[in-house]
Amino acid sequence: MNPQQLSGASVNPQANVYFDGKCISHSLSWPDGSKKSVGVILPATLTFNTAAAEIMECVAGACEWRPSGSEAWQPCGPGQQFSIAANASFEIRVSDTFHYICHFG
């Protein structure tokens, strides 16, 4: 994995811990108002609700995901991503640690 340059980013050093520690991330923000989070999801099946649109980018590991109301799970591995609309929800299923960057739009 190659490190990414995040010029001008502010990082919140306090971790965001969700689902009893199964999802842990750190928030980043830029002067232009853009936001991302960088984190990991440990083995679990979790449901997330979105306020803003999100793009989940897989950095390492893998997951399966499905938007609310869908029966079909979609795979996502390193170098891949998936998008979720604002004010929606999705499930994510992880069997090994999933490393991600979440881009908020």
Q: Please indicate, yes or no, if residue 1 is contained in any of the structural domains.
A: no
Q: Please indicate, yes or no, if residue 81 is contained in any of the structural domains.
A: yes
- Convert 77-102 to b/e letters by CB count within 10 Å (16 or more is b): eeeeebebeeeeebbbbbeeebbbbb
Q: Which residue has the higher pLDDT, 59 or 2?
A: 59
Under the banding of pLDDT at 50, 70 and 90, the label for residue 21 is: very high
Alpha-helix runs per DSSP H in the chain: none
Neighbour-count burial of 105, counting CB atoms closer than 10 A to its CB (0-12 exposed, 13-18 middle, 19+ buried): exposed
Domain count along the chain: 1
In this prediction the pTM is: 0.91
Copy the structure tokens of residue 93: 């299923």
Average of per-residue pLDDT values in the chain? 94
Q: Please indicate, yes or no, if residue 4 is contained in any of the structural domains.
A: no
Task: State what percent of residues in the chain have pLDDT above 70.
Answer: 96
Q: Please indicate, yes or no, if residue 42 is contained in any of the structural domains.
A: yes
Which CATH number do you get for residue 51?
Answer: 2.60.120.10
Residue 2 has pLDDT above 70, yes or no: no
Residue 4 has pLDDT above 80, yes or no: no
Which residue range forms the structural domain that includes residue 98?
Answer: 14-104
